[in-house]
Amino acid sequence: MYRTHNCGELRIENVDETVVLSGWVQKIRNLGGMTFVDIRDRYGISQLVFDENVNHNFCTKARELGREYVIKTQGKVIERSNKNPKMPTGDIEILVDELTVLNKSEVPPFTIEDNTDGGDELRMKYRYLDLRRNTVKKNIILRHKMAHEVRNYLDENDFIEIETPVLIKSTPEGARDFVVPSRMNKGEFYALPQSPQVFKQLLMISGFDRYYQIVKCFRDEDLRADRQPEFTQIDCEMSFAEQEDILNMFEGLAKHLFKAIKGIDISYKLLRMTWADAMKYYGSDKPDLRFDMKFVDLSEIVKGKNFKIFDEAEYVGGICAESCAAYSRKQLDALTEFVRRPQIGAKGLVYVKYNEDGSFKSSVDKFYSQDDLKKWADVLSAKPGDLLLILSGKRNKTLTALGQLRLEMGKKLNLIDNNTFVPLWVVDFPLFEWNDDEKRYTAMHHPFTLPKKEDIDLLETNPGEVRANAYDLVINGIEIGGGSIRIHDNEVQQKMFKLLGFSREDAENQFGFLMNAFKYGAPPHGGVAFGFDRWTALFAGIDSIRDVIAFPKNNAGRDVMIDSPSTISDEQLKELGLKVTKSES
Amino acid sequence: MYRTHNCGELRIENVDETVVLSGWVQKIRNLGGMTFVDIRDRYGISQLVFDENVNHNFCTKARELGREYVIKTQGKVIERSNKNPKMPTGDIEILVDELTVLNKSEVPPFTIEDNTDGGDELRMKYRYLDLRRNTVKKNIILRHKMAHEVRNYLDENDFIEIETPVLIKSTPEGARDFVVPSRMNKGEFYALPQSPQVFKQLLMISGFDRYYQIVKCFRDEDLRADRQPEFTQIDCEMSFAEQEDILNMFEGLAKHLFKAIKGIDISYKLLRMTWADAMKYYGSDKPDLRFDMKFVDLSEIVKGKNFKIFDEAEYVGGICAESCAAYSRKQLDALTEFVRRPQIGAKGLVYVKYNEDGSFKSSVDKFYSQDDLKKWADVLSAKPGDLLLILSGKRNKTLTALGQLRLEMGKKLNLIDNNTFVPLWVVDFPLFEWNDDEKRYTAMHHPFTLPKKEDIDLLETNPGEVRANAYDLVINGIEIGGGSIRIHDNEVQQKMFKLLGFSREDAENQFGFLMNAFKYGAPPHGGVAFGFDRWTALFAGIDSIRDVIAFPKNNAGRDVMIDSPSTISDEQLKELGLKVTKSES
């Protein structure tokens, strides 16, 4: 028997019991005739005492232990004279009378401490040691709890978890597929699913009514920061449900998780904001509402004063940064630099300082009088001491840039509290977005999304204005998930494919089975998918999803621990009927 | 709103309520002025009534409905005059006052009934319709319940579910890997996991203590009947656990599932049988103990009577088939044919009839006296009226053949009750098995299995005799799962690789990271993996795992519904740096 208790559970009530513990050596301290060893396992840390006077040999043996040795120990629980209130086991220690080294350890390449001396690369190579660190371990345990609570909620609401296949069919729409060559059908390939979208719709047609799955999905994308080629989705679908039913059901899931995981009671109904308003007021389809700083449209009141840039702008909008009127030249220049960065792409920034004395100082004083500027200040609800920041240009681009500037100011002014959570639904997304490269509309969500009934007439005349029954759950500026009501009518689906530029043959080839399925009594249905890694990271209070994944890949899609991907044998290639035509130099 | 209730929940208590139901049209019957429509959803079936006298229009509309139409209906719950005690909703019906067709349906290619007229091929092509059939649907729901209960048990026992990666590294040992070409690292490939074995061991080294996962695994094998290229495993691992701890823990899981799913209380401790005994008495490492018919070794008592075949045989063994002495020539010939089939491979069958009058009639009367045969009958505990069936030859081959014959007789004599479950542990598996093709030992379980301490000395001298700390859970002749205590010592692991014929370089290349991990304090650990599809099929009372999988593949590894695998575009191939050298003609 390796243990009677784990290393985190002994308390003052256990005093005088003889216990067996097994775990890792966290720390060794020699104090005169006493040696103290901290023993660690998943559940906690306990202090072992070796008393020179009681057992000399053990003391010698204990002193020979090294960090991360695996030991088994037996002893009597005694009350500590120096209690440690910071440790759950801090009231007691174990006076050891048996010690076995189960396995030695070399000195780890970095310290197994919350603040380690190991860099990213090293920690990834030795991920199994990195996972021993409490800061990483607790994220993985949090992830488990999240999955558990997701299942609890959905099970209680009659959802059935159904596994959909991993070896499916490649479809050119969407992101790039990972493919899997078939040996039994040479020259042919399976694809790994980007999502179980089509299968969950088929399950609705099958009558499963409520489906969910916590499921791996795959996208072969050039990895931007914090993307993983394999990621996990909470994937759900409901039949005989309208948008309202779905929003309520998954608002319930969000509230359940907030309560169960974060201990936060959300008693109010979540805010719902249209996509149009989110863009108009926050320049983002995932607004961070932990702080206000709403945009004000200045397009009208700034015109007609011979300032050409504003006069010609499709849109002029501003935000009010409270108590920033005293910003220095240097600070303002930095903000201008910020909005000019290529990923933001504004041409310049106009500022107006609303001085404490009530006067105005702006970068456009040449064109605008104090009265003009007072009017701007008024519509922006600014007070003396505030700073107005104004961008102009093409509407959509400017809104987005202003959104970035708003977030930057939020950060600078410490308006963003990491312990506050503001969830909301963004609704009424556009059905299509214009792809300027391909000069055509593409589906904003996916080709199965149902247009709003009242916008159906616009499908042919003005597709860009058609709104979809599509919605996103946004928390603190992060898109946690989204979904839509699906088309369940074969004719509407065919029309959508046509609008999206699928030839009849392509549509048939790729989605023929789905369109066929629609002929046999497809119920009205809709659903949602949440980014499980992302949601866990949010609740863990960390920015990167990498640290909520046990064995993540790096930005080049490599697992540096197992050294994958790697070459395969010529024999394997031959069996697959494949030849490598070029390899990375 | 699509519904106030589902189609399975209305009872006599609901009489007089106005309800809204949505679902599929299961059946339409016209009886004089009344039309009855059965409406179906996942939860059940309710009867709708359209009364010609109450509303003529509805009656006409109802008569125009077709099977599998999706409808929404509103009406009043009334008590039936003709109650149907076989239906949970059989006490009531709904007198309809509103009817909407949500979607029409073409006539399905087969009937959506328990006994359908659709063949296998057709049902697979239209799997989404096949899944509507109660017989298939209930298996998928059972699977969900099984997963739910597995999680309940493991969560209660402090196991953490941790996702391991799907894109991993190809290793030539074991079955063939499915591989995934990497676009970002051209010429290199990921592999899909055959099991998360290495990762779960790393998680133990990380200190997660108790891990589980219900996880997809992949094997690119030539598909025998009832194999799937992707299948699901309940994968578990524990640290600081001896074999006894693991058997107890997962015996607990088995009992929990029997209770929760089948309502069967198993209060006894499961039988444990050594692999050696299982082979000796049942000729199988997965004995079906629902009936006895144990082998008796006759090797000694049959020798020395000039019957060359027995005299020269390494092994002679028999079973006693009760009350079969009256078997006809034809029946005996059929049994001989059975054991001679190539997949069984016995040369012939010796029978001894123990006639009701106490005399014996055998196929070897030339060589053996009545007294000789009486002795055989005695050691086989046969009574007058019984039939002895005897095989001989090389020991292992004969045992296996006799095992097949035993199962065949069990079936013929109706000794196998499908409602009885006899689970047992088969323990002490051999560490190695001899591969006659490659003239070398291979790991029977896998290369990480710990040999029994008392057999360690045999590793160098007689590897074939070394027993492993390995165990299988067997229920009714089916291997539900198995596992082992793992090697946690780097030196022992290296020795194993060497014995298995890995060059140091190969071992380093394939498992270097694991061997490296062993250097940093690997705890003693072990685990188990259960075939989730198999276990579900067993509990569903069906033979094929295909019917517990929502979207299975056929024996050629094809999904005939989505028509996958399929060719991919030249552009995709080019991006991957690949060329197809041969395709199936």
pLDDT recorded at residue B478:
96
User: Do residue A165 and residue B559 have CB atoms under 8 angstroms apart?
Assistant: yes
Chain A hits for B240, Cβ within 8 Å: 2-3, 22, 41, 72
User: Do residue B169 and residue A565 have CB atoms under 8 angstroms apart?
Assistant: yes
Chain B hits for A220, Cβ within 8 Å: 183-184
Picking from A220, A558, A577, the nearest residue to B580 by CB comes out as A577
CB B229: neighbour CB atoms within 10 A?
Answer: 25
Residue A298: is its pLDDT beyond 90? yes
Place of tokens 């702008």: A313
In angstroms, the CA A295 to CA A387 distance is 13
User: Do residue B206 and residue A137 have CB atoms under 8 angstroms apart?
Assistant: yes
Residue B171 confidence class, pLDDT cut points 50, 70, 90: confident
User: Do residue B187 and residue A564 have CB atoms under 8 angstroms apart?
Assistant: no
User: Do residue A165 and residue B563 have CB atoms under 8 angstroms apart?
Assistant: no
Chain A hits for B584, Cβ within 8 Å: 185-188
Chain B hits for A161, Cβ within 8 Å: 144, 147-148
Chain B hits for A567, Cβ within 8 Å: 187-189
Picking from B42, B72, B520, the nearest residue to A68 by CB comes out as B520
User: Do residue B161 and residue A148 have CB atoms under 8 angstroms apart?
Assistant: yes
**Are the CB atoms for B212 and B161 separated by under 8 Å?**
yes
Burial B182-203, CB ≥16 within 10 A → b, else e: bbbbbbbbbbbbbbbbbbbbbb
Mutate to test the interface with B, among A103, A227, A533 (most CBs of B within 10 A): A103
Half-sphere exposure of A394 (CA within 13 A, CB side): 5
Q: Which CA distances in Å does A96 have to A93, A300, B127, B289?
A: 9, 81, 63, 48
Picking from B41, B521, B549, the nearest residue to A105 by CB comes out as B521
The three-state (H, E, C) secondary structure of A246-260, written as one string:
HHHHHHHHHHHHHHH
Query: Could you give the ipTM of this predicted complex?
Result: 0.94
Average pLDDT of the residues in B446-472: 92
**Are the CB atoms for A548 and A139 separated by under 8 Å?**
yes
Picking from B103, B229, B517, the nearest residue to A523 by CB comes out as B103
Burial A343-353, CB ≥16 within 10 A → b, else e: ebebeebbbbb
Chain B hits for A165, Cβ within 8 Å: 230, 551, 553, 559
Residue B326: is its pLDDT beyond 90? yes
User: Do residue A161 and residue B180 have CB atoms under 8 angstroms apart?
Assistant: no
Residue A274: is its pLDDT beyond 60? yes
In chain B the first and final C-alpha atoms are separated, in Å, by 54
Which domains are assigned to chain A?
12-103 (2.40.50.140), 135-162+194-267+531-574 (3.30.930.10), 291-412 (3.30.1360.30), 422-528 (3.30.930.10)
Query: Exposed, middle or buried: residue A227 (CB in 10 Å: 0-12, 13-18, 19+)?
Result: middle
CB A426: neighbour CB atoms within 10 A?
Answer: 26
**Are the CB atoms for B364 and B391 separated by under 8 Å?**
no
CA-CA-CA-CA torsion sign (B118, B119, B125, B127) = positive
Residue B585: is its pLDDT beyond 60? no
Q: What is the pLDDT of residues B185-228, one digit of tens each?
A: 999 999 999 999 999 999 999 999 999 999 999 999 887 777 89
Mean pLDDT of chain B: 94
Which of these, A50, A419, A98, lies nearest to A262 by C-alpha position? A419
Chain A hits for B243, Cβ within 8 Å: none
B203: phi then psi, degrees, rounded to nearest 5: -65, -35
* Chain A: residue whose CA lies nearest to B229: A167
pLDDT recorded at residue B503:
85
Minimal CA separation from A527 to chain B, in Å: 16
Minimal CA separation from A363 to chain B, in Å: 47
Residue B158: is its pLDDT beyond 90? yes
B83: left (phi over 0), alpha (psi -120 to 50) or beta: beta
Query: Exposed, middle or buried: residue B61 (CB in 10 Å: 0-12, 13-18, 19+)?
Result: middle
In angstroms, the CA A453 to CA A432 distance is 15
Minimal CA separation from A189 to chain B, in Å: 5
Mutate to test the interface with A, among B184, B197, B563 (most CBs of A within 10 A): B184
Reply yes or no: is the peptide bond before residue A565 cis, omega within 30 of 0.
yes
Q: What is the pLDDT of residues A351-395, one digit of tens each?
A: 999 999 999 999 999 999 999 999 999 999 999 999 999 999 999
pLDDT recorded at residue A583:
65
Minimal CA separation from B87 to chain A, in Å: 19
User: Do residue A169 and residue B564 have CB atoms under 8 angstroms apart?
Assistant: yes
Mutate to test the interface with B, among A38, A153, A206 (most CBs of B within 10 A): A206
Residue B172 confidence class, pLDDT cut points 50, 70, 90: low
User: Do residue B162 and residue A151 have CB atoms under 8 angstroms apart?
Assistant: no
Residue B370: is its pLDDT beyond 60? yes
Residue B173: is its pLDDT beyond 80? no
User: Do residue B1 and residue A242 have CB atoms under 8 angstroms apart?
Assistant: yes
Q: Tell which wins on pLDDT, B146 or A569.
A: B146
Residue A585: is its pLDDT beyond 70? no
In angstroms, the CA A375 to CA A387 distance is 14
CB A267: neighbour CB atoms within 10 A?
Answer: 5
User: Do residue A580 and residue B581 have CB atoms under 8 angstroms apart?
Assistant: no
Picking from B162, B182, B216, the nearest residue to A140 by CB comes out as B162
Place of tokens 């517990």: B548
Residue A80: is its pLDDT beyond 70? yes
**Are the CB atoms for B357 and B338 separated by under 8 Å?**
no
What tokens does B27 get?
């059946």
Q: Tell which wins on pLDDT, A175 or B307.
A: B307
**How many residues are there in chain A?**
585
User: Do residue A207 and residue B137 have CB atoms under 8 angstroms apart?
Assistant: yes
Place of tokens 């509805």: B58
Residue B174: is its pLDDT beyond 90? no
* Chain B: residue whose CA lies nearest to A130: B206
Number of CB pairs, chain A paired with chain B, less than 8 A apart: 364
H helix or E strand, kind and range, residue A471: strand A470-475
Chain B hits for A569, Cβ within 8 Å: 172
Average pLDDT of the residues in B219-246: 92
Residue B365: is its pLDDT beyond 60? yes
Residue B402's SS3 state is helix
Query: Exposed, middle or buried: residue A376 (CB in 10 Å: 0-12, 13-18, 19+)?
Result: buried
Residue B214's SS3 state is strand
Q: What is the pLDDT of residues A446-465, one digit of tens each?
A: 889 999 999 988 988 898 99
CA-CA-CA-CA torsion sign (B283, B285, B291, B294) = positive
Residue B575's SS3 state is helix
**Are the CB atoms for B182 and B264 separated by under 8 Å?**
no
Residue A400: is its pLDDT beyond 90? yes
Residue B583 confidence class, pLDDT cut points 50, 70, 90: low
If you write DSSP's letter for every residue of B143-199 in order, what string do you get?
Answer: HHHHHHHHHHHHHHTT-EE-PPPSSB---SSSSPPPEEE-STTTT-EEE--S-SHHH
In angstroms, the CA A335 to CA B261 distance is 64
A426: phi then psi, degrees, rounded to nearest 5: -100, 125
Burial A238-263, CB ≥16 within 10 A → b, else e: bbbbebeebbebbbebbbbbbebbee
Any idea what the Cα angle at residue B18 is, between residues A160 and B74, rounded to 5°?
A: 70
Residue A237: is its pLDDT beyond 80? yes
Residue B31: is its pLDDT beyond 90? no
**Are the CB atoms for A205 and A516 separated by under 8 Å?**
no
A428: left (phi over 0), alpha (psi -120 to 50) or beta: left
pLDDT recorded at residue B565:
95
Q: What is the pLDDT of residues A148-183, one digit of tens each?
A: 999 999 999 999 999 999 999 987 667 899 999 999
Q: What is the pLDDT of residues B514-528, one digit of tens each?
A: 889 999 999 999 999
